[in-house]
């Protein structure tokens, strides 16, 4: 992929989600998970966006956060978040998973959302204010270059975003970099069966629609392993198209040899661009 092609794809993704944020500001639904002509058509239609969250979770959130839910899973349901942890959501959109995470980790924890789209960041900050959530902070940036220090995050989550990246190896390396030793990954994403070639994936849907850029299960596993992560699991949950599935991806960063988690020094975290 040339630099021009990559930047063109990134701009298409940015505009798709900027348009979704503007729709929500107008009181409309942000659209089906990942966009029309994509993974929200066909068998997976009933298991995209807000349908993936329980009624109790949705009651905790402002309507605008629910309308802006464009994911293909519910990473907060599998991330096993604990009181006092620091969580990072890659591609946080309207903030639904950040707000749910912030409630899970409590007042002693922090939930960060990272997004490249100004319109989504503004919407997420308004949603945090409406929800009265003060431990959610939204940062502008690209998931290939996370603006947080190394070894600073307990859990990385993401919801149907990594498939949209133009440099997935960089994303996985950044996940490993920001995770504390012993930290873990809980991602929802669109993942292809190994039998599908890149051309097969492109035939089934667009890049912006979460299909053409989806990794295969073995590619995901190899990428996480290359980034230095272990205990890797890629499990399909529901089908979006022939050979393409919503999936849960888990992994862990190895502990430092001979160092207890309680013995590690605290790492100061950037809070610029927060909701407060």
The string of pLDDT tens digits covering residues 152-170 is: 999 999 999 999 999 999 9
∠ CA 124-65-171, rounded to 5° = 60
pLDDT of 89-140, one tens digit each? 999 999 999 999 999 999 999 999 999 999 999 999 999 999 999 999 999 9
Q: CB count, 10 Å around CB of 56? A: 7
Q: How many helices (H) and strands (E) does the chain have?
A: 8, 7
Helix (H, G, I), strand (E, B) or coil at 200: helix
> Tokens standing for 7?
């930047």
pLDDT attached to residue 209: 82
Q: Within a 13 Å sphere around the CA of 175, how many CA atoms are in the beta-carbon half?
A: 33
Residue that is written with structure tokens 């290359």 in the block:
226
Inside any domain, residue 260: no
Edge-first strand listing for the sheet containing 136-140: 136-140, 110-115, 86-90, 153-159, 179-192, 244-252, 230-241
Query: Could you tell me if 236 and 113 are in contact, meaning their C-beta atoms sit under 8 angstroms apart?
Result: no
Inside any domain, residue 201: yes
Inside any domain, residue 68: yes
Inside any domain, residue 266: no
pLDDT attached to residue 38: 35
> Tokens standing for 80?
């096993």
Q: CB count, 10 Å around CB of 194? A: 12
163: left (phi over 0), alpha (psi -120 to 50) or beta: alpha
pLDDT attached to residue 1: 60
> Tokens standing for 69?
């839910």
pLDDT attached to residue 45: 44
Inside any domain, residue 217: yes
Alpha-carbon distance values, 129 to 95, 112, 194, 266, 275 (Å): 11, 15, 43, 28, 7
- Does the predicted model carry a pTM greater than 0.85? no
pLDDT attached to residue 42: 40
> Tokens standing for 136?
């959610």
Spans of the chain below 70 pLDDT? 1-4, 26-62, 64-70, 257-276
pLDDT attached to residue 269: 47
Inside any domain, residue 231: yes
Q: Give 3-state DSSP helix, strand, coil % of the chain, rounded to 5.
A: 40, 20, 40
pLDDT attached to residue 69: 61
φ/ψ of 67, rounded to 5, equals: -60, -30
Alpha-carbon distance values, 135 to 1, 99, 132, 262 (Å): 39, 9, 9, 22
pLDDT attached to residue 212: 85
Inside any domain, residue 268: no
Alpha-carbon distance values, 231 to 208, 218, 238 (Å): 30, 14, 22
Q: Which helix (H) or strand (E) holds 155?
A: strand 153-159
Inside any domain, residue 275: no
Question: What distance in Å separates the CA atoms of residue 12 and residue 31, rounded to the nearest whole number?
Answer: 16
Q: What is the count of structural domains for the chain? A: 1
Residue that is written with structure tokens 């630099």 in the block:
3
pLDDT attached to residue 2: 56
Domain with 115 in it: 3-255
CATH of the domain at 201: 3.40.50.150
């Amino acid at each position: 992929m040339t630099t021009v092609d990559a930047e063109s794809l990134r701009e298409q993704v940015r505009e798709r989600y900027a348009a979704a944020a503007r729709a929500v500001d107008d009181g409309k639904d942000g659209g089906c998970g990942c966009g029309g002509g994509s993974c929200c058509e066909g068998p997976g239609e009933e298991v995209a966006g807000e349908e993936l969250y329980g009624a109790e979770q949705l009651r905790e959130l402002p309507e605008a956060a629910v309308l802006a839910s464009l994911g293909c899973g519910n990473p907060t349901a599998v991330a096993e978040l604990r009181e006092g942890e620091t969580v990072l959501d890659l591609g946080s959109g309207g903030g639904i998973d950040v707000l749910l995470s912030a409630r899970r980790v409590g007042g002693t924890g922090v939930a960060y959302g990272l997004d490249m789209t100004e319109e989504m960041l503004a919407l997420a900050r308004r949603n945090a204010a409406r929800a009265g959530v003060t431990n959610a902070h939204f940062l502008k940036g690209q998931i290939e270059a996370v603006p947080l220090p190394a070894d600073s995050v307990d859990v990385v989550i993401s919801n149907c975003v990594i498939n949209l990246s133009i440099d997935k190896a960089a994303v996985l390396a950044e996940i490993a970099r920001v995770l504390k030793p012993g930290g873990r990954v809980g991602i929802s994403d669109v993942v292809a069966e190994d039998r599908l070639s890149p051309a097969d994936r492109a035939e089934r849907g667009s890049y912006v629609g979460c299909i053409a850029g989806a990794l295969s299960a073995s590619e995901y596993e190899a990428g996480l392993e290359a980034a230095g992560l272990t205990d890797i699991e890629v499990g399909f949950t529901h089908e979006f198209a022939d050979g393409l599935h919503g999936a849960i991806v888990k992994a862990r960063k190895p502990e430092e040899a001979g160092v207890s988690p309680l013995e590690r020094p605290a790492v100061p975290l950037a809070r610029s661009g927060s909701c407060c």
